[in-house]
Amino acid sequence: MMSHVLVLMAPQPGALPAERIAKIMAPSSAEQFGPLRWLHHATACEFDWTPSQAKRSDTGSLKDCPPNTLLDTAHADGIDIALIPSKDRQNMLLLSDMDSTMIQQECIDELADFAGLKSQVATITQRAMNGELDFAAALTERVALLAGLPISTLQTVVDLRLQLMPGARTLVQTMKANAAHCVLVSGGFTYFTKAIAEQIGFDATFANTLEITDGHLTGRVIPPILGAQAKLETLNRCLSEKSLSSTHTIAVGDGANDLPMIEAAGLGVAFRAHPVLAGRADVVIQHCDLTALLHLQGYTRDEFVD
């Protein structure tokens, strides 16, 4: 059976002292863990977990692993926790969603604000990201409401509305410094993915293209629409091009359209995600920023490239 490491991470530096770790680990005191190793002193740490104690040793998930209370105890205490296969932890391919993952906003909702329709569009976005609506149909419906907006609105959104998710640039720059290929794959729009990729340092981007005529949005997306299946196809294509196996891949997202690539990746991470994704990902990050994905791969804070 595959050996694992148990990783604990706090959202603020110094917020994971030894006594807090002991409190979290108390429900599993009968289990045999290896010695504590600091990834970031008093902030992130890991323990070896022997194979016999991992019921889902093939996935590295805590959901069905004893003790079940460990996951609940950590999250209730504001700590992120994950059970990760210890072999080949540093991945060579990162695939990431953009909206509400690499950035804090949903671009289409911010565009809709300039049309006076943010509340209406945001409601559809929320339902689509939780898997309640067909993604392509929901995207088509929302984009139709944007017809007539001048293309200058796109740059206004980039300049005034979009904020990087904390840890986004550090995640990508650190992985690139260690020879990983980083790809931004979004069900959003190329205008925004290009701008965000340049800020963060992604190697490639894939997204949908808004149709523009006479300097204004027509309310249509140029087909084909990039959704869940296209994200999975992008993952598989990148693996083929880089001659990698899925075990060398980490994928991160927050919504239903990320689910196929999250499940196909060697390590699938739900980041502050909707329940439909959080319930099926290998790892759920609820509290920490995106640098948590580096600790999952065994990087110490001293190895981060800021």
Decide the pairing of beta strands 93-96 and 249-253. Answer: parallel
Q: Are 112 and 142 in contact (CB under 8 A)?
A: yes
86: helix, strand or coil = coil
Distance between CA 248 and CA 266 in Å, rounded? 6
Distance between CA 64 and CA 44 in Å, rounded? 23
Asked if residue 224 has a cis previous peptide bond (ω within 30° of 0), the answer is yes
Catalytic-role residue among 97, 258, 282, 289:
97
Residue with tokens 């699938």: 268
* Active-site residue, 99 included: yes
How far apart, in Å, do the first and last CA atoms of the chain sit? Answer: 36
Catalytic-role residue among 48, 58, 77, 99:
99
Distance between CA 55 and CA 137 in Å, rounded? 39
Decide the pairing of beta strands 249-253 and 216-222. Answer: unpaired
* Active-site residue, 97 included: yes
Any idea which residues carry the catalytic annotation? 97, 99
